[in-house]
Amino acid sequence: MTEEKKQDLVEISELLSVPHKFATGPTMGRFLSEIRDHKRIVANKCPKCGRTQLPPRIVCAACHVQVDDWIELAPRGEITSYDVTYVPTLNPLTGKMREVPYTTASILLDGGDTTFMHFLDVTDPKKLKIGMRCEAVFAPDGERQGRVTDIVHFHVITE
Amino acid sequence: MSEQDKWCYEVPGKLEVPYRYFAGEFGSKFLVALRDQAKILGCKCPKCGKVFIPPRSNCEQCFVKITDWVEIGPKGKVVSFCVVRYKEPYLPVEPPFVMALIRLKGADSDLTHLLSEVDPAQVKIGMEVEPVFSDSRKASILDIKYFKPAV
Amino acid sequence: MSKNRQVAIVGIGQSKHRGHRPDINQAELVREAVEDALQDSGLSLKDIDCIVHGDMELFEGIHQPDMWHTLGDGGFLKSGFRITTGGTTGATIACASDNLVASGYYDVVMAIGFEKQEEGHTTTGITNMADPLWMREIQTGAITGSTGLEWVNEFGERAEWAAAKLRVMAADNARRNPKAHLRLNLTEQDVMNSRLLAYPLRLLHMCPESNGACAVIFATGEKAKKFPQKPVWVWDHITMHREETFYRGGPRKDPLTQEVAARRLFAKTGIKNPLKEIGVFEMYDPSSWWLLDWLGNFLLLDRKTVLEMVEKNEFAIEGKFPVNPSGGVVSTNPIGATALIRVAEAGLQVRGDAGEHQVPRNIEVAMASGFGGTFWTVLMLLKKSLDGMKPVKVATPAKAAKPKPKAKAKSKKAKVKRGKPKMKVKIKVRKSKPARIKVKKGKAKAGRRK
């Protein structure tokens, strides 16, 4: 046993860091551009089953048809599910640890019928409840870049 | 530009994750011998008798455990090579440089490593080479700084 | 759809799953499971026609690990595939192996799932699966308490006790499984006092990051009957995926893959009452909250019934419907292997070879599940005997006897009988294999020209 302990066990550390460019394609591009240019949240609506997709996708996964109809949704809606996360994890897009706690939520925007995810500005679970209303807070004019972070978070409306 | 194309653009991003790799008990012996003794060790299959480098704890052909170590090299012969002339952030040195497959004396498999102190135009298959060890060795394959033509 | 040939599991192997393994590299970890499976099966590598290798991309940051792992998996000069479908990987390679053997393409296939999780960042790896333009910035891998939240909203503290009780049950089971990674001695209070990850999900509810590998050998029915190990028959399997933009939370509008997959698989196999007809269930439970939630989805029970069954300890090894006698995923989680371990453990239970964590009664049918990605589900049913299984489909008639319309009509009635002579023909073809292997050896020698 002691002999085994004496042996050096080599460990090699490496940082994988690869720059990427993600193409939006026309569907995501339109969705993100509307947020950037007009602070509008738009979904696309399946011509067959009628459900809205958010973020929009070029086909409806349920019906396998191309989705070209767009509708504007209210930048506010209802929280259907949320997570207050206390464990810091590494964000692969930045290589940095996330600051905790933070709250992510699934939100059903008024006029839509699938939820989508973003951050909430409340991190105290006692102040959160499923069914609460919230509203998008956009980054200031001139600072929006056509990215998910153009919505800073959703502000929880507490009465 | 079509109606659809006007919406398309690119978003910059990256993928950044730290990793750590364990050489294990067997692989560590090879790396520690490089670091502490500047010796190159190969391992010998008890069944087929082949000597492998880099070492492996079992022979993939006979699928038996390997426990025997033998010192190999340090001299060897160039089996094949290529001249790298382009720059990439992950390359170990500035181009142009030579990457060579080297069959060390006493080994049955080839080691890929850098070949330096030679004009790339002068490198030939069959050329005899020897390792140059790094001054600050860290139990890594780059403890062999590079190979150079044998004197 | 039915199988061309019956398929059986003829060998099961696992490494010892641990949190820290600086003593071995990845290929050596794979080898531990492969050696264990070969030993269990009584076969040698020569008997294996094809290797199906699975792990999770980005977890160790090795591109094409199957190439390096050939050292440890015995894949040298054999057919091989790498399959990586996230959390479901282990279950997908089991399904793929079943398909490869059932189709008639290979007679014996070894599925190998592996993960050396301490070498990378698990949650970061999972986060990378998400759409880079939206979800990647927001989601945090598999760490979510939202399911638990629904339960707490509906049942209050009673739900928290139930989740904790399931975790204690898993720990009790894991202590009876020498290969399990976490073999803890826990109380419900320990679980409820552990660190919060995402309310109400706590550290002890969540699966660990393990280093481990699992290997399962699948063979044709004909060969399985001749091999030394007791065959465990692969009854059927189902895999079900869905898109990532589904409705989350609240009164669910979208059906869950767990439920749809279970309903379809039960319909295919004629299972009417899963609680009675299935003897043990090895479920992929990434957290005790999901175990609590999905039990109802898989077994087609409402939440209240599940809650009562948990409270009455009915999912324990000695209980009415044993779930995860191995200790489950919350005890052992080398992700690429995790779902294959479910199949392996279900197989051991059918064979009666699970040792200290063996369910103390005859197991005729066992079910294993896999979970991953955007709520994907894989289910596999294993069986002790061929009784009640659909007969194999007659393969397209061999070249020798030209099929007449008559033959077709016959085939419906005498499926199994007609299938058998076909097998014999195939085995004859196989007999030429050793000769081929000899040729290979010669080639290998000749190959060392230099």
Which pLDDT does position C408 carry in this prediction? 44
Does residue C190 surpass a pLDDT of 50? yes
Cβ of C120 within 8 Å of Cβ of B17? The answer is yes
Does residue B67 surpass a pLDDT of 90? yes
Cβ of C25 within 8 Å of Cβ of B27? The answer is yes
C198 touches B at CB < 8 Å: no
Instruction: Tell me the per-residue pLDDT of A39-53, one tens digit each, with 9 for 90 and over.
Output: 999 999 999 999 899
The boundaries of the domain holding residue B59 are 23-149
Tell me: ipTM over 0.90. yes
Give Dmax over CA atoms of chain B in angstroms.
69
The boundaries of the domain holding residue A26 are 22-157
Residue C391 in contact with residue C212, Cβ under 8 Å? no
Which pLDDT does position C1 carry in this prediction? 60
CB atoms within 10 A of CB C117: 22
Higher pLDDT, C244 or C450: C244
C20 touches A at CB < 8 Å: no
Min Cα separation A84/chain C (Å): 5
Chain B residues whose CB is inside 8 A of the A1 CB are: none
Residue holding tokens 């696309």? A44
A1 touches C at CB < 8 Å: no
Residue C59 to residue C203: CA distance in whole angstroms:
21
Cβ of B60 within 8 Å of Cβ of C76? The answer is yes
A118 is a domain residue: yes
Residue C249 to residue C267: CA distance in whole angstroms:
28
A16 is a domain residue: no
Residue C195 in contact with residue C205, Cβ under 8 Å? no
A152 is a domain residue: yes
Chain A residues whose CB is inside 8 A of the C22 CB are: 9, 11
Cβ of C198 within 8 Å of Cβ of A83? The answer is yes
Chain C residues whose CB is inside 8 A of the A91 CB are: 124, 127, 137
- Of C260, C306, C315, which Cα lies nearest the Cα of C283? C315
Which pLDDT does position C399 carry in this prediction? 54
**How far from C389 is each of B111, C7, C233, C395, CA to CA, in Å?**
54, 11, 9, 17
- Of C108, C107, C102, C106, which Cα lies nearest the Cα of C395? C102
Provide the CA C84 distance to its chain's centre, in angstroms.
13
Instruction: Tell me the per-residue pLDDT of C232-269, one tens digit each, with 9 for 90 and over.
Output: 999 999 999 887 766 777 665 677 899 999 999 999 99
- What is the pLDDT averaged over residues C180-200? 96
Instruction: Report the run of H or E that residue C341 belongs to, with start and end.
Output: helix C335-351
Instruction: Tell me the per-residue pLDDT of C143-172, one tens digit each, with 9 for 90 and over.
Output: 888 899 999 999 999 999 999 999 999 999
B84 is a domain residue: yes
Which pLDDT does position C124 carry in this prediction? 84
Residue of chain C nearest A112, judged by CA positions: C247
Q: How sure is the predictor about C412, in pLDDT bands with cuts at 50, 70 and 90?
A: very low
B137 is a domain residue: yes
Q: How sure is the predictor about C406, in pLDDT bands with cuts at 50, 70 and 90?
A: very low
Cβ of A29 within 8 Å of Cβ of B7? The answer is yes
Kindly list the partner chains of chain B, i.e. chains with 3 or more CB atom pairs below 8 Å: A, C
Q: Which two tokens stand for residue C346?
A: 């279900």
Instruction: Tell me the per-residue pLDDT of A111-133, one tens digit each, with 9 for 90 and over.
Output: 988 888 999 999 999 999 999 99
Does residue B91 surpass a pLDDT of 90? no
Which of A 19-38 lie inside 8 A of B, CB atoms? 19-27, 29-30, 32-33
Q: Which of A49-53, B58-62, B125-129, C57-61 has the lowest mean pLDDT?
A: C57-61
Residue A152 in contact with residue A138, Cβ under 8 Å? yes
Residue of chain C nearest B109, judged by CA positions: C448
Which of A 132-151 lie inside 8 A of C, CB atoms? 147-149
Helix ranges (DSSP H) in chain B: 24-37
Count of the separate structural domains present in chain B: 1
Instruction: Tell me the per-residue pLDDT of B28-59, one tens digit each, with 9 for 90 and over.
Output: 999 999 999 999 999 999 999 999 999 999 99
Cβ of C243 within 8 Å of Cβ of A62? The answer is yes
Does residue C66 surpass a pLDDT of 80? yes
Higher pLDDT, C116 or C443: C116
Higher pLDDT, C443 or C166: C166
Among the partner residues A11, A32, A82, nearest to C146 by beta-carbon distance: A82
Which pLDDT does position C423 carry in this prediction? 36
Does residue C438 surpass a pLDDT of 60? no
- What is the pLDDT averaged over residues C120-144? 84
Residues β-bridged to residue B69:
B43
- Name the phi and psi angles at C352, rounded to 5: 80, 20
Cβ of A113 within 8 Å of Cβ of C145? The answer is no
Q: How sure is the predictor about C396, in pLDDT bands with cuts at 50, 70 and 90?
A: low
Mutation to test the A interface, candidates C129, C247, C374, C376, most A Cβ within 10 Å: C247
Q: Which two tokens stand for residue C386?
A: 């061929």
B106: left (phi over 0), alpha (psi -120 to 50) or beta: left
- What is the pLDDT averaged over residues B66-89? 95
Q: How sure is the predictor about C57, in pLDDT bands with cuts at 50, 70 and 90?
A: confident
Cβ of B22 within 8 Å of Cβ of C22? The answer is yes
A94 touches B at CB < 8 Å: yes
Cβ of C25 within 8 Å of Cβ of B22? The answer is yes
Chain C residues whose CB is inside 8 A of the B25 CB are: 23-24
Instruction: Tell me the per-residue pLDDT of C336-377, one tens digit each, with 9 for 90 and over.
Output: 999 999 999 999 999 999 999 999 999 999 999 999 877 899
Residue C396 to residue C270: CA distance in whole angstroms:
26
C7-122+206-383 domain in CATH 3.40.50.1820?
Answer: no
Min Cα separation A9/chain C (Å): 7
Mutation to test the A interface, candidates C25, C118, C133, C244, most A Cβ within 10 Å: C133
Residue C223 in contact with residue C107, Cβ under 8 Å? yes
The chain-wide mean pLDDT, for chain A, equals: 91
Instruction: Tell me the per-residue pLDDT of C304-334, one tens digit each, with 9 for 90 and over.
Output: 999 999 999 999 999 999 999 999 999 999 9
A9 is a domain residue: no
CB atoms within 10 A of CB C266: 23
Cβ of A93 within 8 Å of Cβ of C133? The answer is no
Residue A35 to residue A33: CA distance in whole angstroms:
5
Domain range annotation of chain C: 7-122+206-383, 405-447
Residues β-bridged to residue A42:
A72
The chain-wide mean pLDDT, for chain B, equals: 94
Q: Which of C64-68, C203-207, C266-270, C388-392 has the lowest mean pLDDT?
A: C388-392
Higher pLDDT, A2 or B127: B127
A89 is a domain residue: yes
- What is the pLDDT averaged over residues C413-435? 37
Chain B residues whose CB is inside 8 A of the C24 CB are: 22, 24-26, 57
Does residue C426 surpass a pLDDT of 90? no
Cβ of C71 within 8 Å of Cβ of B15? The answer is no
Mutation to test the B interface, candidates A7, A12, A67, most B Cβ within 10 Å: A12
Count of the separate structural domains present in chain A: 1
Residue A31 to residue C305: CA distance in whole angstroms:
43
Which pLDDT does position C250 carry in this prediction? 62
Residue C90 in contact with residue C370, Cβ under 8 Å? yes
Mutation to test the C interface, candidates A16, A108, A117, A129, most C Cβ within 10 Å: A117
Q: Which two tokens stand for residue C393?
A: 């489909």
A13 is a domain residue: no
Q: What 3-state class would DSSP assign to C29?
A: helix
Strand C50-54 with C108-116, pairing:
parallel
Residue A92 in contact with residue A22, Cβ under 8 Å? no
